[in-house]
Chains A and B, each alone.
Chain A
């Protein structure tokens, strides 16, 4: 998936040694020029719309900038550690980081676990499988604004279907305000995350499952291994590298997530994750310096986690 196969792309002419002196361009050099020319637009756009903004965010993090004063300060205003210092010592920041971590771990584990179960049950062909598989991908492809809305309405204390049935069939004493009370909001958001992104894990795990050679399992069956034993000793080892990779990818993506939490709770009731907090600083307080500083802290924490992960879980990943 993300592994590259550096040898497959080589042109057959590369082994030819570069001739000395000024001669017409060799095939090798022509290829190099063509490569650079073709990749240049992609590279330029990437640097312009992603590279420069990232660097600029770092610069802003070390300046005292507000939207109102921006015209005066310019790019090279006075540099200061104030923002970082302020951000690290503002009450609530540690909580935010903790919430983000819980949310990321919960969302990652939940979505991969669900995805694994889903991949295992639709692994073998059955009638209507294509339709089942497509339906399972719905939460993932549907627009985030629409799905967060439906969840809000379903969980609504007054007219939501969940509370209605919960009170009727499960004997709940009172409606549960899932998204607005501290004790349930974070858990609900995590469940939402697992629901919305399990298709992502499902797709990758299913693709890997279908690549497992049939003889392996057949041999194990002949040797008398039961289905659960076959799963533990044959399938799981085959899936582990993909699960590890999914763990990293989903953790990073959940850690950065903004819209799901923002749309579900607005960051209230103990669900304020870092990116929602950054957004608040950026728009409500127009304190660009502080917003940038928090974004940088977010990125640094993320990089540290990924490095730790790679350090301990080997080089199979990436």
Chain B
């Protein structure tokens, strides 16, 4: 056998092995999370190495405890889910409302300062969140906005806006100008062109950006921690979960149930829209 054969054959096997390894490494933590969340804590302490749940030991008491309202002796995660949902949806809608016209303008129209605006968005999205957090913390403290979900929505817009503009801009640039020109010849004004031609064409990209914005807002932790910590009824799921772990001794299985509740909506959303999202992400850089 010559070198080419040896390499081809061994690489073929190596490739399968590496794919399997990657699958284990990426999926296992989520599987582990799920398994722990449905086991009673005593079983876990007895046998921490076990990775299958016997039919007899299966429990959903952990989920009941996490989801029940605090008045009923639970952890009140239903309220947190509502808060997270509200904040994430509001941030997504508002971001899109502002980002779409801006991205269109940067992609299509020549105006004074276009290059500078373009550069500004790139610079801004690479800036440390913690730098922005300091004065916002101060302002919200002084203005009494601490503990307000609206304040949080404002901050999330700042986190998602630059990336959204970038992703949308790149997409608008791929739409052939000729389509818009023919609409213009038919007598459509600028807004009419955007509404009837550009927006429908950009719909896949807009959906991808919306999903991305929703994920960022749903997953966010630092700003929720800074702004909402004193108001337990306003906590988001991320914040509620992290504070639950810091507080009095809560069984690990209950924490895992909380993690599943936090992760599941995002994973479902992600698998439902994977192709859309990955294409959107690679056409615009993003913040992680």
A and B together in one complex: yes
Task: Let me know if A67 and B30 touch, CB within 8 A.
Answer: no
Interface assignment of B200: CB less than 8 Å from any CB of chain A? no
Q: Determine which of A5, A137, A156 lies in contact with B274 in the assembled complex, contact meaning CB atoms within 8 Å.
A: A137
Residues of A within 8 A of B274 (CB): 130, 133-134, 137
Q: Quick check: B288 and A278 within 8 Å, CB to CB?
A: no
Known: A32-B112, A117-B18. A282 touches B26 (CB 8 A): no
Chain B contacts for A228, CB-based, 8 A: 7, 11
Contact for B242 among A67, A137, A226, A263, CB less than 8 A: A263
Shortest CB-to-CB span from B132 to chain A, Å, is 5
Interface range for B? 35 or more
Q: Which of A50, A139, A263 contacts B124 (CB 8 A)?
A: A50
Residue B155 interfacial (CB < 8 Å):
yes
**B248 an interface residue at 8 Å Cβ cutoff?**
no
Number of interface residues of A (CB under 8 A): 105
* Consensus secondary structure, chain B interface: helix
B130 near A153 with CB under 8 A, answer: no
- Chain B neighbourhood of A200, CB < 8 A: 286, 288
Neighbouring A residues of B112 by C-beta, 8 Å: 32, 36
- Contact residues in B for A53 (Cβ distance below 8 Å): 131-132, 134-136
When the two chains form the complex, which single residue of A43, A142, A253 contacts B102, counting CB atoms closer than 8 Å?
Answer: A43
Residues of A within 8 A of B278 (CB): 133, 137, 203
Q: Is the CB of B48 within 8 A of A39?
A: no
A-chain residues with CB within 8 Å of residue B262 when the two chains form the complex: 143, 145-146
Distance, CA A123 to CA B154, complexed state (A): 40
Knowing A53-B132, A263-B221, say if A224 contacts B155 (CB, 8 Å).
no
Give 18 new A-B contacts, CB below 8 A, not counting A144-B219, A159-B45: A9-B107, A35-B108, A38-B102, A42-B99, A42-B103, A43-B120, A49-B132, A50-B124, A135-B23, A139-B26, A142-B30, A149-B245, A150-B29, A150-B33, A195-B25, A195-B26, A204-B282, A275-B129
Interfacial residues, chain A to chain B (CB-CB below 8 A): 1-2, 4-6, 8-12, 14, 28, 30-36, 38-39, 41-43, 45-46, 49-54, 56-57, 60, 67, 70-71, 117-118, 121-122, 130, 132-147, 149-151, 153-154, 156, 158-161, 164-165, 168, 195, 197, 200, 203-204, 207, 224, 226-228, 249, 252-253, 255-256, 258-259, 262-263, 275, 278-279, 282-283, 288, 291-292, 295-296, 298-299, 302, 318
* B interface list, Cβ under 8 A from A: 3-4, 7-8, 11, 15, 18-19, 22-23, 25-27, 29-30, 32-33, 36, 44-45, 48-49, 51, 98-99, 101-112, 114-115, 117-118, 120-122, 124, 126-138, 141-142, 154-155, 157-158, 161-162, 165-166, 170, 172-173, 177, 181, 190, 215, 218-219, 221-222, 226, 237-239, 241-242, 245, 252, 255-256, 259-260, 262-263, 266-267, 270-271, 274-275, 278, 281-288
